[in-house]
Structure 1
Amino acid sequence: MREEVGRVSGPHGEVALWRRTDDDGTVVTELVVDGVFAMDDVDTSTERALATEALARAEGAELAVLVGGLGLGWTAAAVLRSPGVAEVVVVELEDALLGWAAQGLLPGLPSTADPRLDLVAGDVAAAFTPGRYDVVLLDVDNGPDFLVHGSNAGLYGTRGLARALAALRPGGVLAIWSADPSPALLDRLAALPGAVDAEQLVLPVEREGRVFEYAVLLARRAS
């Protein structure tokens, strides 16, 4: 059984939230943008790994974290569960997702009551204030090679990556989620002035009898 939870048309197209119940009783939430499947929560391990892998590399306490892309809320929730996090700013392009979050409809983030959490509508690039954050997490699309919104391409280019890195304090960590391993993106990260310890984690996930390889790419701003 599949039911529509919400549908909103906005300046960036139509966004729909669906919920289905599989034959085994599992409830799955799906996000569809302009008729294109964007994500579901059959397996959320890589979205959570985006947060946990970056935070494991972060230094200090009272961390300020910027999350680009709310999605179904799993990355933001993983950040909030991590010790040492004092502030989480989540910037989401789609107003509909912020509304559904406020209504408790996102499975990963059933409540927005945590005082450390600030949900902001807009383009995450506008939040790249120099030296503002300890961790920057980007999950604004499916990675550089399979974009839902073509306008997101700039985030994965050299200029966009440089601005994201500059939003970090010295020693801070930038992490990017990708639907596929991206050697080209890793090369761009490694070549950024001031970037060190660039790496790509390939995360295999089995779905419906197939193994998919997702990736988290990370780099640190030099101290």
Structure 2
Amino acid sequence: MSVEYAEIARAESERGELVLRSRREDDGPAVLELRANGVFVMDTAETTSEVALATAALELVDDPGQVLVGGLGLGYTLQAVLTDPRVERATVVEIEQALVDWMRDGTIRHGQTILADARAHVVVADVSIALAEAAEASYDLVLLDVDNGPGYLVHETNAALYESPFLGLLRRIVRPGGAVVIWSASEAPDLEHNLGEVFDDVETHSYAVDLQGREDCYWLYVARQESSAR
């Protein structure tokens, strides 16, 4: 099997290098691929996890009017959230300005359509800083998808997003009856433990996926609160 790559866009930030490229295997269709500092983040060939994160999470909340998504990626989680007519506003916090720009200017072709939805609101910031500063913010549902889980960090500093102090910020902004859902490419018992120290109720869900003919398993960590943490 032959694989051809072509760079589409590249950007540098204080976190390093962000590269968007196309990948074509043999005579198959071109696939868009995102890498950070050489680490694979996601592509357009396998969007199961992004869609599953959104659809499974939306089923957990009766009225997900206000949704927060941590991590824009290639936009598939946000796109799936916006398919739910109950969603009144979907706020996405993305740390990389270049990624948002590529979505807005059509470098990522489907990006303009997704961001054209009036319910979509993009904030360019570190999600931990944005939430710490948003003292009055509250959401019915929070989806965290900034890495491939705590075991596959895009940046080492992201490890703090899966620890109790940051999870406490999530509890503070989630309304009673709401939920936090975190996606992971592998089982993460430490994350489950940390969530249990902060939230009233924690559930772990696994689901099978077919990764281009290879069977695998992804995980969703769901945390709920029964009362306000304010």
Q: State the distance in 2 between where 1:108 and 1:89 align.
A: 18
Q: Structure 1's 80 and 204: CA in aligned 2 closer, same or farther, altered over 3 A?
A: same
Structure 1 residue ranges, 4+ long, deviating more than 6 angstroms after superposition: none
Q: Distance in 2 between matches of 1:195 and 1:108?
A: 38
Distance 1:103 1:143, change over 3 A: same
Give the TM-score of the pair, scaled to structure 2.
0.89
Residue 90 of structure 1 aligns with which residue? 92
1:18-43 per-residue CA deviation (whole Å, 9 max, x = no partner) reads 11233353231111101111111222
Checking the alignment, whether the CA contact within 8 Å between 2:93 and 2:122 is kept in structure 1 is yes
Percentage identity across paired residues of the two chains: 42
1:75 aligned to 77, 84, 104, which one?
77
Structure-2 residue corresponding to 1:41: 44
Task: Please name the residue that 2:206 is paired with.
Answer: 202
Aligned residue for 2:216, secondary structure, equals strand
TM-score (norm 1): 0.91
2:159 alignment counterpart? 153
1:20 lines up with 2:26 in the alignment: no
Cα offsets for 1:13-69 (capped at 9, x unmatched): 1100011233353231111101111111222111111111111111226x1111100
Structure-2 change in CA distance of 1:195 and 1:81 (3 Å): same
In structure 1, the residue matched to 2:172 is 166
Match of 1:206, as an amino acid?
D
Q: Which moved more, 1:120-129 or 1:71-80?
A: 120-129
Residues 40-99 of structure 1: CA deviation (Å, up to 9, x unaligned): 1222111111111111111226x1111100011100000111120000111111111101
Structure 1 residue 113, shift from structure 2 partner: 1.1
The answer (yes or no) to whether the contact 1:74–1:109 under 8 Å persists in 2 is no
Q: Which runs of 5+ in 2 are unaligned?
A: none
Which runs of no fewer than 5 residues in structure 1 stay unpaired?
A: none
* CA displacement at 1:175 relative to structure 2: 0.5
1:222 equivalent in alignment to 2:226 = yes
